[in-house]
Amino acid sequence: MIAALLCTEAGPVVILTQYDTLDHPRLLELLEQKGISKFIGFKLPLELVQQRYGRHYHAAVENLYESDELRVVDTEGPRAFKLFSFSEMSEPVLYESPKTRVEAPAA
């Protein structure tokens, strides 16, 4: 399982997923079902997420309404963004659904 901070159009969220990469096709499909079609994602050390969120982390892991494919730990953008420094994040992964891309008008 990996943890990640996604900077989305609605603000930062922290997720857990069973997939090894943030651009796994099934993960992207699940994110789009939740309305996330464009993001800048950063993997986070799982142990650090457990430590920073404490009981809230365990509640997310034990949530029967979500699966290991995608579990949302935090949707409170300012808190999610403030809890982790850039030095604790991986290199960014950029994703934009082909459905959301805007073509520049012809000159």
pLDDT tens, position by position, 47-104: 999 999 999 888 888 876 778 899 999 999 899 889 999 999 999 999 999 877 666 6
According to the model, what pLDDT value does residue 68 have? Answer: 86
According to the model, what pLDDT value does residue 104 have? Answer: 62
* Alpha-carbon span 13 to 68, nearest angstrom: 16
Whether the model pTM is above 0.75: yes
According to the model, what pLDDT value does residue 107 have? Answer: 65
Name, in order, each residue with C-beta under 8 angstroms of 87's C-beta and a sequence gap of 6 or more: none
pLDDT tens, position by position, 18-48: 999 999 999 999 999 999 999 999 999 999 9
According to the model, what pLDDT value does residue 99 have? Answer: 78
Domain residue extents for the chain? 2-96
* Alpha-carbon span 79 to 32, nearest angstrom: 23
According to the model, what pLDDT value does residue 59 have? Answer: 85
Residue 105 has pLDDT above 70, yes or no: no
The answer to whether 88 touches 46, Cβ cutoff 8 Å, is: no
